[in-house]
Amino acid sequence: MKLLLTSAGVNNKSIHDALVGMLDKPIADSNALCIPTAMYGHPWVGPGVKTWEFISGNSENPMVNLGWKSVGVLELTALPSIDENRWVPLVQETDVLLVSGGDALYLYHWMQQSGLAELLPSLRAVYVGMSAGSMVMAPNIGEFFVGWTPPSGEDKTLGFVDFAMFPHLDHEMLPGNTMAAAEQWAAEIKGPAYAINDDTAIKVMDGEVEVISEGHWKLFSP
């Protein structure tokens, strides 16, 4: 899997260059699918204006509006109700998946229910996550980030990487996302954990993990 796990999208040159390198071709020649599902589960976002802004490329977080050859929408909550032949080939052929922020557990639930979770490891596409779209790749997210409660009642997520993520570190609009809060969160995580600010991303290719940053971040080791 080729993963670019961001806090707030492709919002600086270093993260942009990393994405282009992972694509192996220009963005203008690449086809994208955006996945807004996580937004519906978040109490501050939900359906409405923010979801439209993400899908339409009018969001302040650069994802859909990077100049792709084409952009489609893959809404995970709809997939269980349609035949797999309608959407699986589309996902298999796309160059990149752009996965929005929102609620990581809600996203995990619908990745499982839709069948996308099982499909992801076989895809050639670059997976670009933002906030919850990145956090869902971890084994778990930690109690700090639990909002929507899944049927299991657990904070378990996909586990495609062996580390957890604390995004939006020291964000001015999120006064609770301090380094002290991140340290307390990390103490409860069973495994390595990264706290990253919005100018930082984590690139994962062939099992190799690289931090891409024009900001600040910290790795907490168990």
Tokens of 221: 């080791």
Name the architecture of domain 2-220: 3-Layer(aba) Sandwich (3.40)
Tokens of 103: 């609620």
CB 22 within 8 Å of CB 126: yes
Pairing state of beta strands 96-99 and 31-35?
A: parallel
Q: Percent of the chain, pLDDT > 90?
A: 86
Tokens of 153: 């009642």
Tokens of 52: 């439209």
pTM of the model: 0.96
Where residue 76 falls among pLDDT bands split at 50, 70, 90?
A: very high
Does the pLDDT at position 45 exceed 80? no
Where residue 46 falls among pLDDT bands split at 50, 70, 90?
A: low
Q: Percent of the chain, pLDDT > 70?
A: 99
Residue range 106-161, pLDDT digits in tens:
999 999 999 999 999 999 999 999 999 999 999 999 999 998 888 888 999 999 99
CA atoms of 100 and 38, how far apart (whole Å): 6
Q: What angle do CA 124, 119, 135 make, to 5 degrees?
A: 85
CA atoms of 166 and 40, how far apart (whole Å): 20
Q: What share of the chain is helix, strand, coil (3-state, %, to 5)?
A: 35, 20, 45
